[in-house]
Structure 1
Amino acid sequence: MLKHTILFAILLSAINTFAQETVKVKNKLSQNVTEVFTVPANNKLIRQGLYQALFKKKTVVATGLFENDKKTGLWRFYDQKGQAMQIYDYTKKQLLFEAREDTTSNLRYFLDKQLDTTMNVTKPVKIGGRYYGYLPYLNLFTLPQDLRDVNSDVFVARVELLISPLGRLADYKVHLAAINFERTINMNIHLPNQEDMVFMPATLNGEPIASQVVIKCYVTNSGHLDFE
């Protein structure tokens, strides 16, 4: 009995020590999405343990585990309404589920190829799903300084991403339009997070092919972009 009591005390001490040595971090990913994760108290650059991204602080849009700042195991991704979008196994590097897409989607896909009904085509896929996975491309944009005094509601916006046959981001543009106004802004494709450079490429009859992803969005009050 004494041996069990000592063992329990040691385990409890270890749990308390671990809890004391980690801190919770919250970051805003966009106007509506906040990420929550833990880091060691002595190294706040290393994400460790449970990660969640929350839409308006309540709806989970991404959840999974970090191990030494690397995503591991199964990650689940959802849209703003909590509908399942994608399941990806980062350990096995395997896509386990991708939700079907219909005409209500904010995304459109194009191939530089004349298609016919005999061709077998798959779209490009962003790990992270069609909501959370594309947030970085929207949030990295900031309205140019000379347009800051313009009411953001007047703009129609779309993001265009060119994906190479190797599944790499090859071009990244933002198109703004309003009455008697059009501007195309070429964005830097050397993104801070290397994961945002990587896609599962589109395929044509089983062979990877270049593709374009177009995202319908709007300009927020803070000068960034968000999904329509």
Structure 2
Amino acid sequence: MKLLLTIIAVCCFTFAHGQSLKTVKVKSKYLLEQYEVRADNDTLRDGTYRKYLRDGDVLLEEGSYANSRRIGTWTFYNRTGQPELIYNYSTAQVITNNRTTATADTMGIIQLEGKGTTVRLTPPPIYLASTHQISAILSRESRPPMHLHREGITELSYQIAATVSPVGARYRIIASHPDREFRQNAQQWAALAFKDVQWLPGSYEGQPVTAIYLLPAITMHLWAVVR
């Protein structure tokens, strides 16, 4: 799915580390990014960064760049504007994680002795993005195929299972209906929602492991089409 990107250069100059900076805004289908680049090299991010959900200008995350690398403390916000995750990129440490509960969020499926085993992960896999960003994109993209409407299906749901390893994440769809188009569409929705999102792997007995992270199910209610 192609996104229409609009880049708007804003004539707002500051000075940081002796460098003249200008502010850039980048719009995609659902998101607005606002960050600073060097005035003499607009490919280098160097300064403050904020990401918004375009619908309502909701702040999703904020932090800083130096030489196009994320540095220092970044804060990711929930749908009510409260910090849900604070991560320090310079020290690679999670400072605050308000997503974690004592139950499902800390459990993961890992390979032990050649078979999948459910264990408690400390910490579990963590994605460095706002949950509101992920859920908002998924809820807006999720549309059931029309032929399932005509077949009288009244409800569809799917879950995204992220297999998170120390080198990245892969996404698999667990769908309530075997329809091929529905599963393929859901795979595209997941790819869009998690585009450019970095993951931190889970840890078991002090070692990073490959684990499966299940996101909450997305449910769609369909009105049956009368023929």
Give the TM-score taking structure 2 as reference length: 0.60
- What SS does the aligned partner of 1:157 have? strand
RMSD: 4.6
After superposition, give the CA deviation of every residue in 1:170-216 in whole Å (9 maximum; x if it has no partner).
x31234445x746544959999x9964x5322223323332111223
Name 1:6's counterpart in structure 2: none
- What SS does the aligned partner of 2:215 have? strand
Give the TM-score taking structure 1 as reference length: 0.60
1:78 Cα shift?
A: 0.8
Name 2:202's counterpart in structure 1: 202
Name 2:92's counterpart in structure 1: 93
1:143 Cα shift?
A: 7.5
1:173–1:184 contact (8 Å) kept in structure 2: no
Instruction: Give ranges in structure 1 of 5+ residues lacking alignment.
Output: 1-13, 221-228
Instruction: Give ranges in structure 2 of 5+ residues lacking alignment.
Output: 1-12, 110-115, 221-227
Structure 2 letter corresponding to 1:49: G
1:89 Cα shift?
A: 1.4
Residues 150 and 26 of structure 1, relative CA distance in 2, 3 Å threshold: farther
1:124–1:202 contact (8 Å) kept in structure 2: yes
The answer to whether residue 216 in structure 2 is matched with residue 216 in structure 1 is yes
The answer to whether residue 63 in structure 2 is matched with residue 59 in structure 1 is no
Name 2:112's counterpart in structure 1: none
Q: Which has the higher strand share?
A: 2
Name 1:84's counterpart in structure 2: 83
After superposition, give the CA deviation of every residue in 1:123-149 in whole Å (9 maximum; x if it has no partner).
1122335445x57x959xx779x9478
Name 1:25's counterpart in structure 2: 25
- What SS does the aligned partner of 1:72 have? strand
CA distance in 2, matches of 1:89, 1:121: 18
In terms of Rg, which structure is larger? 1
1:63 Cα shift?
A: 0.6
Name 1:36's counterpart in structure 2: 34
Name 1:226's counterpart in structure 2: none
Residues 64 and 15 of structure 1, relative CA distance in 2, 3 Å threshold: closer
1:29–1:35 contact (8 Å) kept in structure 2: no
Structure 2 letter corresponding to 1:210: T
Name 2:70's counterpart in structure 1: 71
Matched-pair identity in %: 15
CA distance in 1, matches of 2:106, 2:179: 23
The answer to whether residue 160 in structure 2 is matched with residue 159 in structure 1 is yes
